[in-house]
Amino acid sequence: MSKKTKTKAKSAKERKSELQTSLLNLLDQSQGKAYSLKQIIKKFTLKKKEDIKLVGQLVDELVEDGRIQEIDNGTYKSNHKEEELTGIVDHVSSRFGYVKLGNDQPDIFVKGRDLGSAVDGDTVQIVVFPTRHGEHQEGKVVKVLHRNRNRFVGRVELSKNFAFVVADARKIHTDFFVYPENINGATTGDKVIIEVTSWAEAERKPEAKVVEILGKAGENEAEIHSIMAEFELPFRFPERVISESQKIHEGITEEEIKKRWDFREVTTFTIDPVDAKDFDDALSFRKLDNDLYEIGIHIADVTHYIAPNSILDQEAFDRATSVYLVDRTVPMLPERLSNELCSLRPREDKLTFAAVFEMDAKGKIKKEWFGRTIIHSNVRFSYEEAQVILEQGQGVMAEELRILNDIAKKLRKERFSKGAVNFETTEVKFKLDEKGKPLAVIPKVRKDAHKLIEEFMLLANKQVATFVYNYKKAKEKNTFVYRIHDFPDPEKVKDFSVFARQFGHKMNIDENSISSSLNKLMSEIEGKPEQNILEQLAIRTMAKAKYSTDVKGHFGLAFTHYTHFTSPIRRYPDMMVHRMLQHYLDDGKHLNKNEYEDKCVHSSEREKRAADAERASIKYKQVEFMASAEKKVYEGLISGVTEWGIYVEIVETKCEGMIRLADMTDDFYEFDEKNYRLMGRRNRKVFTLGDKVNVLVKKTDIDKRLIDLVLAEGVKEFDSEDEFESQRRPTARKKSSRSRRR
């Protein structure tokens, strides 16, 4: 057979396979709908006689094979029995999304048109097709079982007879139609909260009404309030909660003092951020006669003031945590409690719950005690003030701070020797003007003063958990609220090691070596451009820490037992721990595990919400900063590669933006998912994780909190605004197959 004949035969075989796949996709995804041969040919817009003849042959073959069935009226439908599953929508792009099934099951790929009216976060019922999209099975939403939310935040676009609201949330890919009578005074450019009145199907837009106007888009108050509304954070405390907090008597009676260990004559201090108002932990220190030190970790006794199931308790439980946005705190407790009654302010008698240890200079515990105390803090240090004293070796309480810091370093060294993971993530803070506009992005630096406090808080949390676990050993362990952190998924660790290798770092991913290998990596990358990217990804690789009544240990800290005892002003689980600890100290009976597990799940969910909101506020300020930043070329590192573009972290500002594939106009780039890279079809140029690139800011979108970047390879500085704009604007190119495909 000649080469030409072979090529022709191969082409016919490929065409038959292509038509068969299209035919099965059409019938399988039509949910029982039948088509005649004429309708099938029309659907495929077939004009060649050989193609029309081939479809007829395929239909006969597939009927004979039992893949499809012929109906009496001469139509055909699929024999595929669709499996119905339930999951949650993750709408990652306007073109497609995934339905997460949970329980370690693979996600199902769903085209945008097959999501129906479902939006991100909705619980849906889907049917699964035999077709696949890459590694994922393909499916279609057939029913929305539960709406994740009915209120959204967005920007108003007003027309003569109607309005649209464009949602802020990046994963909401539909606009909301608003009739004139439901606009409620909003005008173009307003940030608003809307409530959906009708979830329209097919091509129609969902309908909504404006329920609150937050302000003009781009203004700090409007944007921060929109983030709060997006994550359903409370704007204020209900009046009844404020009223209840004002009724609490602040006096400390002699009767109450007699119930407590009195530390008012013992040297005591707090170390907190310079702008902190709620001080929920203090350290007491005194030398004992036997070359030991008595170190007390005293925590605000919030539960003394808040009764279980009271109005204040219910509100605290619902919030579950304080949320720290870039320019404000959304507190768990009203100010009367958080900043006044419970805050361990200097030179005031305060009620506390404490873990007190007798320790030697090596940090070994010789004796421990848990219970309620009363303190009188002598000094309120900021971290910066304490750090200066530690570095200079002189100042207020210099000797006490030196000893405590020496012990803290030994505790830290011991943790790492037992397998704790050293995650020193680079966090950023902003210098803001009086209107909240960011003037500078400043990386937070953790020094010995921060680590001193951290080690003693970790010690208290660990020892409280261990004490309750071992307390009055019985057949049935006491129910308790633990902070647990599972061992990381081996596949995720493997993927992370591949990522790290792109930067030239090798990891040992054997189960027993992961902790030490991670610590070695963290040490290697310190101070290097890739530090922030790898630290952030390493954290995402780890299992998520959460609250639970199960005893599973904490992988990251290498603790067998761990809890949260030290921050009851800002975390509800700590309030639960205080109550449970006192219950067992009072010889209370076994507590209901299911009741507390439900509370743990709620607290973990609220914690995730808080973290997402905090990240959103940081991203907003980063985008706002880059919108007004100096017009210049920035050095960046590729932090992510996707089929729609590459993510780049700007080294100088730690801000992440995206270079869209559509803006990479010098070639047709293909996504190599396996190797985390894009490769040019013609020039074979490769962009992969960890590559250094020079970028320009093309556009910023504060509403979506997005930064669009473009490549500026070889360009360093500009002599004029026109030169900058010419470099920033991608060059035009002829339409390619990718342009048409997109």
Question: Would the pLDDT of 103 be above 80?
Answer: no
Same domain? 456 vs 586: yes
Same domain? 170 vs 253: no
Q: What is the pLDDT, as a whole number, of residue 473?
A: 67
Residue 360: band (very low, low, confident or very high) from pLDDT cuts 50, 70, 90: very high
Question: Which of 146, 161, 182 corresponds to the end of one domain?
Answer: 146
Query: Structural domain of residue 680, as residue ranges?
Result: 629-741
Same domain? 11 vs 138: no
Q: What is the pLDDT of residues 8-31, one digit of tens each?
A: 554 677 777 778 777 777 777 766
Same domain? 466 vs 590: yes
Same domain? 59 vs 104: no
DSSP 678-715: EEETTT--EEETT-EEEEEEEEEETTTTEEEEEE-TT-
Q: What is the pLDDT of residues 271-286, one digit of tens each?
A: 999 988 889 999 999 9
More confident site: 419 or 724 = 419
Q: What is the pLDDT, as a whole number, of residue 6?
A: 47
Question: Which of 566, 589, 616 corresponds to the end of one domain?
Answer: 616
Question: What is the total count of domains within the chain?
Answer: 6
Q: What is the mean pLDDT of residues 616-623?
A: 92
In the structure encoding, which two tokens stand for residue 667, read together?
């070639």
Residue 714 lies in a domain: yes
707 forms beta bridges with: 700
Q: What is the pLDDT of residues 171-197, one digit of tens each?
A: 899 999 999 999 999 999 999 999 999
Place of tokens 């590729």: 638
From the CB of residue 596, how many other CB atoms can be counted at a distance below 10 Å? Answer: 19
Model-level pTM?
0.81
Residue 67: band (very low, low, confident or very high) from pLDDT cuts 50, 70, 90: confident
- Which range (105-119, 589-603, 668-682, 705-719) has the least confidence? 705-719
Same domain? 648 vs 582: no
Compute, in degrees rounded to 10, the torsion defined by CA atoms 594, 600, 603, 609: -100
Residue 252 lies in a domain: yes
Dist. CA 603–CA 481, nearest whole Å: 11
Residue 113: band (very low, low, confident or very high) from pLDDT cuts 50, 70, 90: confident
Residue 683 lies in a domain: yes
In the structure encoding, which two tokens stand for residue 326, read together?
């870039």
Closest to 176 (Cα-Cα) out of 190, 161, 160, 162: 162
In the structure encoding, which two tokens stand for residue 570, read together?
């800002």
Dist. CA 554–CA 530, nearest whole Å: 27
Same domain? 588 vs 696: no
Same domain? 527 vs 674: no
CATH number at residue 119: 2.40.50.140
Q: What is the pLDDT of residues 142-156, one digit of tens each?
A: 899 999 999 999 999
Q: What is the pLDDT, as a whole number, of residue 717?
A: 43
Question: Would the pLDDT of 595 be above 60?
Answer: yes
Q: What is the pLDDT of residues 81-98, one digit of tens each?
A: 667 889 999 998 888 999
Q: What is the mean pLDDT of residues 438-453?
A: 90
Average pLDDT, the chain: 87
Q: What is the pLDDT, as a whole number, of residue 382?
A: 95
Question: Would the pLDDT of 489 be above 70?
Answer: yes
Judge contact between 157 and 163, C-beta under 8 A: yes
Residue 202: band (very low, low, confident or very high) from pLDDT cuts 50, 70, 90: low
